[in-house]
Amino acid sequence: MNIFQRSIQRTREKLYEYGRLKALAKKRALEAEAKANVTLELFLDELQQETGIDVHDPKNAPIIALHLTQFLRDRKPAEVDEDDRGGMGDHAL
């Protein structure tokens, strides 16, 4: 294999890897979006059951926004701890 053939081969490998990573990122983004949608629907159902607020009425949007803000504040520390368990963990660079 001469230098040009090796260069073409490396370029093809890089393009293949780029396509693979792009597809993986798209798949993960779609999964994250689906998870967020399910979480939001569950939150709205729970809010409607607990408070009796009609979540489909636009007049209740400010109240729902307040409840959602508090829900996200309460939930954020738990998600940070969950993310810290993956990756390198306690290993120093």
| CA atoms 78, 80, 82, 84: torsion sign | negative
Least confident of 19-23, 40-44, 75-79: 75-79
Q: List the chain domain ranges.
A: 3-84
Chain mean position to CA 24: 13
Least confident of 15-19, 33-37, 86-90: 86-90
